[in-house]
Homo-oligomer: A and B are copies of this chain.
Amino acid sequence: MAYPGYGGYGGQMPGMPMQGAPMGAPLARGYPPQYGAYPGTFAAPPAQDPMWSYFTAIAGQDGEVDAEELQRCLTQTGISGTYMPFSLETCRIMIAMLDRDYSGKMGFAEFKELFTALNGWKQNFMMVDRDNSGTVEPHELSQSISNLGYRLSPQALGCIISRFSRGGKIYFDDYVACCVKLRAVTETFRRRDAMQQGAVNFQYDDFIMCTMSI
């Protein structure tokens, strides 16, 4: 799966409050700047990487995993901690986020990158979910999205909240699905926004590919 020169997620390092774009300096185009790959992420040879064994046990000879394999893999690594394991739907969105060739699968490099992003989102979620209830409030999701560097209208935030909440709360699995999807659609948009002006002309077929794959 091709995945050139990419590594940011929502414009900040995992788990850290957003740096470099103070609230007084709004981003005209609404989405956070793109960062390079996280330094050192792929420094260790796979064989010495503790995550390699999890990955290879699932991926098999082709070295790639699909959504169901990813779900098993993430469950085994215990990344969800005390929260519920990720749903298949969320795993599908995770694959779609990194799947530039629309193969529906991901390799080890993408898996590592996903893991880094997941750890960041988990830390963000835990910072908000102080009583460890497994859910956060709608306004806390809005704040978290803002902390990740996105500048969205109240209407856009409202529709995100309505889509990812259940019974007025946002569960960890849905929080991560929201973060993954928001990053993926932003990257989709950014790649087409050559002038970085916050506007893109979509052909119908391309729009269908972008929206149906995530």
Q: Which residues of A contact B (CB under 8 A)?
A: 29-31, 67-68, 87, 89, 92, 96, 99, 102-104, 152-153, 155-156, 158-160, 162-163, 165-167, 178, 181-182, 185-186, 189, 193, 198-205, 207-214
Would A211 and B210 count as touching, CB distance under 8 A? yes
Would A159 and B213 count as touching, CB distance under 8 A? yes
Would A186 and B202 count as touching, CB distance under 8 A? no
Secondary structure at chain A's binding surface: helix, strand, loop or mixed? helix
A203 contacts across to B, CB distance below 8 A: 198-199
Measured CB to CB, the closest approach of chain B to A152, in angstroms, equals 6
C-alpha gap A88/B67 in the complex (Å): 18
Would A185 and B212 count as touching, CB distance under 8 A? yes
A89 contacts across to B, CB distance below 8 A: 87, 89
